[in-house]
A = this chain, B = another copy of it.
């Protein structure tokens, strides 16, 4: 039997961290090709190409400085070179590039290849409806696509701090192979089958985190924050059943790492919470806050809140989702942050 080849598409801090894990694991797994190609969007760092730096120093000095990559992880700027021989494609790139990347790799994919997405976010379809990133991969490339989500800040995983992740895969074989690739002593994997619930938890939790940050910014304590986290959790659940119920999301998914654990981590740290805090403690518009505090990068939560808001509005469902709705309105500054909690006073959960 020929050896199976794994490629990583993307090389940010999470992509590099995952390349490190997969590279190490493959050295112990006889069924795999030793080399793990990592597609890098080429850029120049002090007159030197990033791919060359990675391949010479075995370190992504720009996005994951200080962490040594195993020698079998090979950076390449050539997308086709990275993807054409692969049996497993790990998608871990900023999702605004996904469509273009899929388009470029499509002509030269190997028979039987499948993907696994580590991307957190949503796409929009032409009619303004929310679309899963994995559906975009599935449809554009005509391949199956699993997901891996969880409470996994790259900075902590790359330091080998104990944590968990959830892999959702439609078939047991895929789940088993992915667990073999990703699990380590410190990075513990639970495999489930609910791909849709897993992916949506990863995206929707960012809205809740903005809400948690608003609560903090308003000066409330841990109880209030816990109430906001829980109500957000219930809206996530309700939203998933409402719009993706036909794809069989599972109640138990919400208690996996991709659900409750990722939600907690995101509500206590990270840029979405930070933006919520800033929205409650300043009067500046969101893009100004992102410029100042995130060096111009976007937080995912406000964007997801906007997409979700439009979908809810078009179906006349805003009143069922007061937390999602309030977060969106506070992000756009239509509503003062100080009104956040009064929007939750008559939450459908309390009827």
Contacts and interface: CB of A to CB of B under 8 A. Distances in A.
A225 B164 CA distance: 10
Contacts of A185: 345
Contact of A265 (B183, B226, B341): B226
Given A188-B350, A190-B349, A233-B255, A223 B163 contact: yes
A83 interface: no
For this complex, into which size category does the number of interface residues on chain A fall?
35 or more
Given A227-B257, A234-B255, A255-B233, A162 B220 contact: yes
Interface string A147-162: 0000111011100011
How many copies make up the complex?
Answer: 2
Interface string A219-258: 0111111110111011001000000000000010011110
Contacts of A349: 188, 190
Contacts of A162: 220, 223-224, 227, 341, 344-345
Dominant SS among interface residues on chain A: helix
Contacts of A62: none
Contact of A163 (B151, B227, B257): B227
Given A222-B269, A226-B257, A230-B257, 15 more contacts: A151-B227, A153-B221, A153-B222, A156-B220, A156-B223, A157-B223, A164-B230, A164-B231, A188-B350, A189-B350, A190-B350, A225-B264, A226-B262, A227-B261, A230-B261
